[in-house]
Amino acid sequence: MKKLFITGFLTILIIFSARSQSIRIGGGLVMETGYHYNNETAGISSVVNQGPLAGITFTFMYKTDRPFNVSPTFTYFLPRTNTCTDTLGITSKTRVSSTMFNIDGHYVIYSLDRFGFYGLAGFNIHFTKIKWFSTDYKEHDNAFGLNIGCGSDLKLSEKISVYTEAKYTLFSKYSQLIFNAGLLVNFSWSKKQENKEL
């Protein structure tokens, strides 16, 4: 399923790249409030099933001729290693890892000169995995959800922008609050500069 989703994700990138008026590509850091694998929180699961809290994100922003942008993103969360010793002195150690794909629509609420503010809504799919070190047992899970939130961007130059976003994942098995911030490079500007030089 993950390979099928990746193929569809790349297809969407190609389609919007061909039709958009401007393309900004970049990435940054992401923080989330966290989750428990398979929502298991009883006993030692409250410790060993804890998911990652930080990662890196790769972002594409496609601008149309209206106050509406489309932004597919891919996020890789740094795996989290959990250790817990129960009352019998038995130590359990796990590693929980995850990746996430998002496709959000941005509605530009305010845009003036170098600063812009937008609301966002979209959907995501969250792939997560847990590994038990004692038995080398692995288990996979995934969940769909809806995104709602807001973001802003600030132009540092015609080519470079800084962006920030905050969004909440709704109706998902792994609902959580996610923050991310990073840099975007305006490749449409780069292309215009090359054409001018020619």
Residue pLDDT, tens place only, 92-138: 999 999 999 999 999 999 888 889 999 999 999 999 999 999 888 99
pTM for the structure as a whole:
0.83
Q: What letter does residue 23 receive in the DSSP assignment?
A: E
Residue pLDDT, tens place only, 22-81: 788 999 999 999 999 999 998 888 999 999 999 999 998 888 777 888 899 999 999 999
Instruction: Name residue, tokens 């802003």.
Output: 152
Nearest-angstrom CA–CA distance, 197 and 49: 56
Nearest-angstrom CA–CA distance, 62 and 148: 18
Backbone angles phi, psi at 5, to 5 degrees: -70, -40
Rg, Å, the chain Cα set:
20
Domains of the chain: 2-197 (2.40.160.20)
Q: Residue 193 above 50 pLDDT?
A: no
Backbone angles phi, psi at 113, to 5 degrees: 55, -110
Query: Is there a contact between 181 and 28 (Cβ–Cβ < 8 Å)?
Result: yes
